[in-house]
């Protein structure tokens, strides 16, 4: 998602992944799975198939780990700020972990054209040989919105096609 923030230092945009459910929603779904698994496992144990219990516990543990991993990945944040002379990019999960300050005049923007039409293009900021991936978690529509914002702020987005990779 691309959201505009109001800051004194210039135009500022918050880039975040789409999040289908909140953490509380994830816990509710997991508790529903626990309840359903408990009912099924109880029936199986009463029928004499007690070895089902450890596998039911492993399944619920794997489901909880998957929910946690996905929720954690959805906490990524990137803040892109445009000032008259600089482009500042901040990345992190719950706090700022990395920051780049790039001169606006000498920064190039590359857009990797995907091979498949359903794949979102990847954006990169480049300055002095350093390439910084810009919001790789955005979907196609949000990436197009970000490209429009970059062009509105005077950056030319150059499209390039990566060389074809072999399957291995």
- For the chain (168 residues), the mean pLDDT of every run of 10, in chain order, is 80 90 93 96 93 94 95 92 92 91 92 85 91 92 92 89 65
Helices (H), 7-129: 23-46, 52-73
Query: Quick one: tokens of 40?
Result: 């099924």
Q: Between the CA of residue 153 and those of 57, 87, 123, 138, 147, what are the distances in Å?
A: 53, 10, 15, 19, 10
- How high is the pLDDT of residue 166? 61
* Rounded CA separation 46/90 (Å): 56
The C-alpha angle with vertex 146 and arms to 105 and 151, in degrees rounded to 5, equals 40
Q: How many CB atoms lie within 10 A of CB 63?
A: 16
- How high is the pLDDT of residue 165? 66
Predicted TM-score (pTM) of this structure: 0.78
- How high is the pLDDT of residue 98? 94
Query: Quick one: tokens of 35?
Result: 């309840």
- Residue among 49, 47, 82, 59 at smallest CA distance from 153: 82
* Rounded CA separation 148/130 (Å): 23
């Amino acid at each position: 998602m691309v959201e505009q923030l109001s800051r004194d230092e210039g135009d500022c945009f918050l880039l975040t992944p789409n999040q289908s459910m909140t953490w509380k929603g994830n816990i509710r779904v997991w508790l529903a799975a626990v309840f359903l698994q408990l009912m099924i496992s109880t029936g199986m144990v009463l029928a004499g198939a007690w070895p089902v219990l450890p596998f039911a516990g492993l399944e619920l543990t794997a489901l909880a780990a998957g929910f946690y991993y996905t929720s954690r990945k959805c906490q990524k944040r990137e803040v892109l700020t445009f000032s008259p002379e600089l482009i500042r990019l901040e990345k992190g999960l719950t706090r700022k972990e990395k920051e780049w300050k790039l001169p606006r005049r000498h920064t190039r923007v590359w857009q990797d054209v995907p091979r498949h039409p359903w794949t979102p293009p990847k954006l990169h900021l480049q300055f002095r040989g350093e390439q910084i991936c810009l919001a790789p978690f955005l979907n196609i529509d949000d990436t197009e919105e970000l490209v429009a914002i970059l062009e509105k702020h005077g950056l030319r987005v150059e499209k390039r096609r990566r060389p074809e990779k072999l399957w291995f």
